[in-house]
């Protein structure tokens, strides 16, 4: 097999990134936009020693999982990878992906509970971060690149985001706004960042700039108001002069409205700033947090919530818990978490500004002994040092681990296992339909040493030993052996 060959293969599996896998002459061939069960004609694009990459030319015989693709940007913008198969098939693939990671990497052959899907795979995202192309169009980066694919209308985003995107593009072009070029590190406007509080309808729009001021800002606000009406509650500038791939800088300035918008999650009012972490799929996040609460059994317990963000997971359990302690490294998120506790009249929650490992050490030195530790780390998972602190210093009854990467979850489950914690149950949760991403909520429990026999039981056993010795005429040596076993 060589580059530019056209081959015919059957797709038998899927990669973690959503590409189909077929075999040709014993070699694996990875082909995007294919489905398990497809018979396909493929153009070979690249050949390595043990595998190759291909491009789909024709579906000769379609998989029963196939559906009609409904997005013109599919396989170009780097977002969706499963728009060509049914949502039921996607959930099955993701459930298998989690199980295989737990078994292969974590070393635990325990099947997951049934995956929790989203109510709809459409319009579920409450946040969009649009890079700005040189011609002023907003879009998304192509897969594994920083090439911008114009995409003002996205089936994952609320319809209002598409209207805002089109209006912002007109504003950029009509006012000749300078657009940032990341290679030259010149130009002004880098990203347009939008947030929607689904429960309240409040909208936030943020212009991320390589500078201090934005020309024609009043006109931008006027145009946004014409599209959003009274739902527009905040327009801000975010200053990011750094030569970096990180989208947001540290400094924000209000152009219109307030500094925050407010949403409601699991009955808890949540204040959101531009820098706050918040789950992008609110409806499914409620399902995820309810599962976390089910695993935590928070009633009357002290709960430590590491990587707490704006405090949403911990605060959703505060009514039942004895005490909530949250830790987060982003100061603005900690401020939001404290405000959210006050906003909801929650007096038994406190929040620390520190990274998870540092906060764990601080609390350990103070002698804090939480009965439940909640972990919701970024994609890279937890450090071995943090896991050791949780398992050895805190030694909670339960660890509830919310993960956005099955591989790092499995790795950390193995580390917890080496420190005496057993994976009891885990549930995949599809927070990001049509993409390759999958969340998971796992429960780990501390192994408990067997309790000593009650005194009454020991007496009964001693009596039985004496009876056995009389009936069987045991020698003194045998009798001593039975007594030793009884101890």
Q: What is the pLDDT of residues 89-111, one digit of tens each?
A: 999 999 999 999 999 999 999 99
Average pLDDT over residues 377-385: 94
- pLDDT class for 362, splitting at 50, 70, 90? confident
Cα–Cα dist 131/148, whole Å: 7
Residue 465 has pLDDT above 50, yes or no: no
pTM: 0.86
Tokens 């409450």 sit at which residue? 126
Lowest mean pLDDT among 242-256, 274-288, 348-362: 348-362
Average pLDDT over residues 362-371: 85
200 torsion bin: left (phi>0), alpha (psi -120 to 50), beta (else): alpha
- pLDDT class for 468, splitting at 50, 70, 90? very low
| The pLDDT of residue 358 | 85
Task: Given the residues 404, 440, 441, 472, select the one marked as catalytic.
Answer: 404
Residue 457 has pLDDT above 50, yes or no: no
Cα–Cα dist 318/302, whole Å: 10
| The pLDDT of residue 330 | 83
Average pLDDT over residues 43-52: 95
In the chain, the percentage of residues whose pLDDT exceeds 90 is 78
Cα–Cα dist 337/341, whole Å: 6
**Domain 1-66 matches domain 281-446 at the CATH topology level:** no
User: Which CATH number is associated with domain 281-446?
Assistant: 3.40.50.150
| The pLDDT of residue 347 | 97
Residue 260 has pLDDT above 90, yes or no: yes
Residue 464 has pLDDT above 70, yes or no: no
| Burial of residue 66, with CB atoms counted within 10 A of its CB: 0-12 exposed, 13-18 middle, 19 or more buried | middle
| The pLDDT of residue 455 | 45
Average pLDDT over residues 412-434: 97
Residue 359 has pLDDT above 90, yes or no: no
Tell me the domain boundaries of the chain.
Answer: 1-66, 127-263, 281-446, 456-486
Angle at 272 between CA 270 and CA 277, to 5 degrees: 100
Lowest mean pLDDT among 44-53, 192-201, 342-351, 358-367: 358-367
3-state DSSP of the chain? CCCCCEEEEEEEEECCCCCEEEEECCEEEEECCCCCCCEEEEEEEEECCCEEEEEEEEEEECCCCECCCCCCCCCCCCCCCCCCECHHHHHHHHHHHHHHHHHHCCCCCCCCCCCECCCCCCCCCCEEEEEECCCCCEEEECCCCCCEEECCCCCCCCHHHHHHHHHHHHHHHHCCCCECECCCCECCEEEEEEEEECCCCEEEEEEEECCCCCCCHHHHHHHHHHHHHHHEEEEEEEECCCCCCCCCCCEEEEEEECCCEEEEECCEEEEECCCCCCCCCHHHHHHHHHHHHHHHCCCCCEEEEECCCCCHHHHHHCCCCCEEEEEECCHHHHHHHHHHHHHCCCCCEEEEECCHHHHHHHHHHCCCCCCEEEECCCCCCCCHHHHHHHHHHHCCCEEEEEECCHHHHHHHHHHHHHCCEEEEEEEEECCCCCCCCCEEEEEEEECCCCCCCCHHHHHHHHHHHHHHHHHHCCCHHHHHHHHHHHC
Whether 317 and 296 have beta carbons less than 8 Å apart is answered as: yes
| The pLDDT of residue 76 | 85
| The pLDDT of residue 466 | 54
Q: For the chain, what is the mean pLDDT?
A: 91
| The pLDDT of residue 471 | 44
Average pLDDT over residues 116-134: 95
What tens digit of pLDDT does each residue of 55-84 get?
Answer: 999 999 999 999 999 898 888 888 899 999
Average pLDDT over residues 18-26: 94
Q: CATH: 3.30.465.10, 2.40.50.1070, 2.60.120.10, 2.70.98.40. Which one for 127-263? A: 2.40.50.1070
**Fold annotation for 1-66:** OB fold (Dihydrolipoamide Acetyltransferase, E2P) (2.40.50)
Average pLDDT over residues 263-282: 92
What tens digit of pLDDT does each residue of 279-328 get?
Answer: 999 999 999 999 999 999 999 999 999 999 889 999 999 999 999 999 98
Residue 404 designated active-site? yes
Whether 180 and 240 have beta carbons less than 8 Å apart is answered as: no
Residue 239 has pLDDT above 60, yes or no: yes
Residue 460 has pLDDT above 90, yes or no: no
| The pLDDT of residue 326 | 94
């Amino acid at each position: 097999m060589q580059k530019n060959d056209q081959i015919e293969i059957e797709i038998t599996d899927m990669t973690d990134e959503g590409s189909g896998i077929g075999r040709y002459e014993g070699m694996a061939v990875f082909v995007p936009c294919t489905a398990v069960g497809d018979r396909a004609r493929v153009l070979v694009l690249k050949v390595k020693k043990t595998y190759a990459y291909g491009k789909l030319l024709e579906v000769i015989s379609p998989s029963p999982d196939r559906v009609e693709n409904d997005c013109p940007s599919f396989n170009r913008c780097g977002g969706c990878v499963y728009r060509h198969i049914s949502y039921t098939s996607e959930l099955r693939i993701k459930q298998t992906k989690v199980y295989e990671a737990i078994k292969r990497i974590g070393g635990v052959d325990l099947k997951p509970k049934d995956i929790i899907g989203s109510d709809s795979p459409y319009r579920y995202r409450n946040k969009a971060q649009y890079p700005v192309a040189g011609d002023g169009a907003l879009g998304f980066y192509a897969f594994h690149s920083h090439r911008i694919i114009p995409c003002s209308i996205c089936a994952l985003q609320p319809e209002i985001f598409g209207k805002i995107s089109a209006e912002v593009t007109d504003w950029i072009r009509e006012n000749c706004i300078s657009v940032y070029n990341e290679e030259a590190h010149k130009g002004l406007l880098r990203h347009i960042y939008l947030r929607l509080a689904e429960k309240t309808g409040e909208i936030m729009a943020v212009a991320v700039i390589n500078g201090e001021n934005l020309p024609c800002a009043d006109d931008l606000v006027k145009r946004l108001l014409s599209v959003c009406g009274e739902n527009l509650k905040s327009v801000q500038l975010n200053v990011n002069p750094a030569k970096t791939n990180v989208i947001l800088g540290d400094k924000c300035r209000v152009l219109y409205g307030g500094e925050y918008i407010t949403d409601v999650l699991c009955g808890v009012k949540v204040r959101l700033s531009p820098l706050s972490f918040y789950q992008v799929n609110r409806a499914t996040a409620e399902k995820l947090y309810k599962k976390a609460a089910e695993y935590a059994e928070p009633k009357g317990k002290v709960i430590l919530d590491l990587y707490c963000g704006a405090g949403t997971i911990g605060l959703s359990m505060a009514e039942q818990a004895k005490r909530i302690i949250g830790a987060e490294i982003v100061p603005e998120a900690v401020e939001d978490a404290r405000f959210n506790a006050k906003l909801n009249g929650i007096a038994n929650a406190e929040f620390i500004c520190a990274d998870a490992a540092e906060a764990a050490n601080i609390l350990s030195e103070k002698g804090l002994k939480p009965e439940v530790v909640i972990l919701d780390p970024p994609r890279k998972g937890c450090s071995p040092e943090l896991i050791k602190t949780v398992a050895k210093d805190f030694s909670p009854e339960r660890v509830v681990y919310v993960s956005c990467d099955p591989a790092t979850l499995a790795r950390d489950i193995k580390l917890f296992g080496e420190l005496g914690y057993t994976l009891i149950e885990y549930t995949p949760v599809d927070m990001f339909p049509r993409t390759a991403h999958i969340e998971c909520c796992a429960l780990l429990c501390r192994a408990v040493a067997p309790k000593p026999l009650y005194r009454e039981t020991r007496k009964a056993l001693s009596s039985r030993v004496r009876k056995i010795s009389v009936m069987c005429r045991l020698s003194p040596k045998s009798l001593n052996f039975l007594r030793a076993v009884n101890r």
